[in-house]
Every structure is written in C-alpha cells, then in structure tokens.
C-alpha cells in the first residue's frame, strides 16, 4: 500500500488561489489513476478531478475552468491548482491513487477504491 500525504491547504479569501500537493511513499504513482476528492461538513464526498494513467483528465462541473490536476513522476507527486476559489469550495481535500481502474466509480470516497491520504483542509472566506 502506498502512503499518501496531502499538503498546501489553508484559509484564503474568495477569489484566491491554492496549490495542493500529494506525495507518495512506499511506492510510486506509476501506472496509476490519480484523483482529488473533497468532503464538506454535512455533505457527501465529491470527486473534484481525476487524471488517468493515459493522461486523460476529468473535472467536476463545479470546478471546470478553475482547477487543474497535474503530476510529476520524477517527484512522485500530484497537484491540484485551485484558482478563483469560492466559499463553496471549502472542504477537506483528499488525494487518491488507484490501480484497479475504478477511481471514477460513482460514490468513490476515502476508504474506497485506491490508496488515500488523510486530507488537507481548504477554507475560503466570503
């Protein structure tokens, strides 16, 4: 099992930017599908963005045009660049790496398909 650690969360005003990072230890991201998910208090877990091993990206409608997923194999890391942040983006953000091909399985959340980090909090004030 690969251990994932997120970083880069914080508190920003509406319209601000953050870049989340996720680093892996005990393994690499080779041949994996990658993803970022979020969960706000009182809300269900939501897929934010995924990047499959072929380089295809997928974004939730709510973040299209504002967020961008990427990875750096040399650093064994993946990133989520978040621009034009809104208060509704406030949530705990989790990264995931999956080798089963099921990272986009409906309802996939921490503890589901793939290896998951512990999360990093993003708070956007209005």
pLDDT at residue 7 in the model: 97
Q: Taking 90 as the threshold, does the pLDDT of residue 112 lie above it?
A: no
pLDDT in tens, 18-77: 999 999 999 889 899 999 999 999 999 999 999 999 999 999 999 999 999 999 989 999
Give Cβ neighbours of residue 54 (< 8 Å, ≥ 6 apart): none
pLDDT in tens, 80-89: 999 999 999 9
Q: Which two tokens stand for residue 79?
A: 């990133």
Q: Taking 90 as the threshold, does the pLDDT of residue 104 lie above it?
A: no
Confidence of residue 101 (pLDDT cuts 50, 70, 90): confident
Mean pLDDT for 92-116 is 91
Mean pLDDT for 83-96 is 98
Q: Taking 90 as the threshold, does the pLDDT of residue 14 lie above it?
A: yes
pLDDT at residue 75 in the model: 93
Whole-angstrom distance, CA of residue 57 vs CA of residue 71: 11
């Amino acid at each position: 099992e690969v251990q994932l650690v997120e970083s880069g969360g914080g508190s920003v005003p509406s319209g601000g930017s953050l870049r989340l990072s996720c680093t892996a230890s005990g393994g690499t991201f080779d041949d994996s599908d990658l993803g970022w998910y979020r969960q706000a208090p009182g809300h269900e877990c939501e897929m934010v963005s995924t990047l499959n091993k072929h380089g295809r990206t997928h974004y939730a409608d709510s973040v299209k045009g504002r967020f961008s997923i990427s990875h750096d194999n040399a650093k064994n890391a993946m990133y989520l660049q978040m621009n034009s942040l809104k208060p509704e983006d406030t949530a705990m953000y989790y990264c995931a790496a999956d080798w089963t091909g099921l990272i986009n399985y409906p309802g996939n959340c921490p503890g589901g398909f793939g290896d998951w980090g512990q999360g990093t909090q993003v708070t956007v004030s209005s």
